[in-house]
Amino acid sequence: MNKILFKQLLAQTSDNPLALEISHSNGCYIYTTKGRRYLDFISGIAVSSLGHNHPKVIKALHDQIDKHLHVMVYGEFIQRPQIEFASLLLSQLPENLEQVYLVNSGTEANEGALKLAKKYTERTKFVAFKDSYHGDTQGSLSVTGRDVYRDPYLPLLPNVDFGYFNSDDSLDLIDRETAAVILEPIQGEGGIIPARKKWLETIRKKCNEVGALLIFDEIQSGFGRTGKLFAFEHYNVVPDILCMAKAMGGGMPIGGFVSSQKIFQTFKYDPPLNHVTTFGGHPVSCAAAHANLKELLSGDYFLRASKIEEIVKQRLQGKGIKEVRGMGAMLGLELESKEITEYVVNHCFDQGILLGWTLHSNTLVRLAPPLIITDEELVFVTNTILEGLKSYN
């Protein structure tokens, strides 16, 4: 009955949802009402980096719920969870990233960043990259470089030029009409493609030369997933605006974009309140985000992300897999065909493992396990993947 109601009452995003009816979750596992247990090797799509229902996050939620929920739109009242989270977050970032605007999701963070860049530079052109993904709302979709998502909603925002990721030819697109360049330091939906360090340095230099802002979309790669708090730290290239979400809230909905006080000043006038959000910075989500970040910084989770990369690559590289790429616990397996990929993902699902795969990336399996996963669980997953490859052949 619940499956019928699920399809009848809730708008669907595909003809074949997994439709697992969830009972509860804990650690690396999701449990269904039928008694099945699934190892979540995609962390709710890169969200639950500390696993599901981390006790310190749960405690912070209970503590804040007893005090207050929503009291006012963002930016008007002083709310302690916002201050505590912002203080800890900004203490970990370069000095030019000194204020955060809190929102509800990743696409909202990117929308805000695009508006901020236009307002500050008084320019309207953006440079983005093919195969990028920045969200499904109109502005974020306008700078997303995948036609499969864009085409049904054309026309989108004008004045967006798309270059090739990691190509020096893209530098010619960045000129004195450019408000901002937006990119993922590691393309996620585009295939887990890390940027080349030299290329990213050159992008930064070109933006400086022409007065364009550089926006890093770290919605998937942030909060320890790559072995650093943010992926840009691997490159020593600092953006003007940093966008974040997903693993930010320990399972609660929250996003944000960070920039300098100078740049953020432009949101205060012509007119005042020219970018607002009702639920952004919700105190319960901020309490969860603060607890989540404290735990990430106090443990060895960043080292664990690097160890996950080492184990997965060691066990899978070259064993019927075209390539294993990525950083830390943000990895992609490139397989030989759509048919093999679908078979392997379904084989793992039958064995109680959730992997990341979509029809729009039909030869790529995305891996984003919780950072609390054990070596034994990694061995189980990699063995199951190899078993799937062997049984297909």
- pLDDT digit string, tens, across residues 17-75: 888 999 999 999 999 999 999 999 999 999 999 999 999 999 999 999 999 999 999 99
CA 372 centroid distance within chain: 18
2 — phi, psi (to 5°)?
A: -60, -35
CA 242, CA 240: separation in Å to the nearest integer?
Answer: 7
Expressed in angstroms, the distance from the first to the final Cα of the chain is 38
| Domains, in order of start, for the chain | 2-53+302-392 (3.90.1150.10), 56-298 (3.40.640.10)
DSSP of 285-323? HHHHHHHHHHHHHHSSHHHHHHHHHHHHHHHHTTSS-SE
Mind listing the pLDDT tens digit for each residue in 318-346? 898 999 999 999 999 999 999 999 999 99
With cut-offs at 50, 70 and 90, classify the pLDDT of residue 1: low
Across the chain, mean pLDDT equals 96
123 — phi, psi (to 5°)?
A: -120, 165
- What integer is the mean pLDDT of 307-316? 97
E strand segments, 22-93:
22-26, 29-32, 37-40
> In residues, how long is the chain?
393
Cβ proximity of 377 and 55 under 8 Å: no
389 — phi, psi (to 5°)?
A: -60, -45
Instruction: Give yes or no for residue 358 having a pLDDT over 80.
Output: no
Position 168, amino acid = D
- What integer is the mean pLDDT of 2-18? 88
Q: What percent of the chain has pLDDT over 90?
A: 92
pLDDT for 393: 73
Mind listing the pLDDT tens digit for each residue in 79-112? 999 999 999 999 999 999 999 999 999 999 999 9
- Written as six digits, the tokens of 106 are 């990743």
Q: Is 285 exposed, middle or buried (0-12, 13-18, 19+ CB in 10 A)?
A: buried
Q: Cis omega (within 30 of 0) on the bond before 17?
A: no
CA 41, CA 382: separation in Å to the nearest integer?
Answer: 11
E strand segments, the chain:
22-26, 29-32, 37-40, 99-103, 125-129, 160-163, 178-183, 186-187, 193-194, 213-217, 241-244, 255-259, 323-327, 330-334, 353-354, 364-367
What pTM did the predictor assign?
0.97
pLDDT for 241: 99
pLDDT for 15: 86
- Distances from the Cα of 51 to the Cα of 41, 252, 270, 368, angstroms: 10, 12, 44, 11
Q: Bridge partners of 256?
A: 102, 244
pLDDT for 357: 81
Instruction: Give yes or no for residue 359 having a pLDDT over 70.
Output: no
- Written as six digits, the tokens of 231 are 């992926």
CA 234 centroid distance within chain: 17
pLDDT for 286: 98
CA-based nearest residue to 248, from 238, 240, 239, 257: 257
Cβ proximity of 243 and 109 under 8 Å: yes
Helix (H) or strand (E) holding 85: helix 80-91
Q: What's the longest Cα–Cα distance across the chain?
A: 64
CA-based nearest residue to 82, from 97, 101, 65: 101
CA 246, CA 161: separation in Å to the nearest integer?
Answer: 27
With cut-offs at 50, 70 and 90, classify the pLDDT of residue 216: very high
The one-character DSSP state at 27 is B
Cβ proximity of 76 and 53 under 8 Å: no
Q: Positive or negative, the Cα torsion across 38, 40, 42, 44?
A: positive
Instruction: Give yes or no for residue 362 having a pLDDT over 70.
Output: yes
The one-character DSSP state at 196 is P
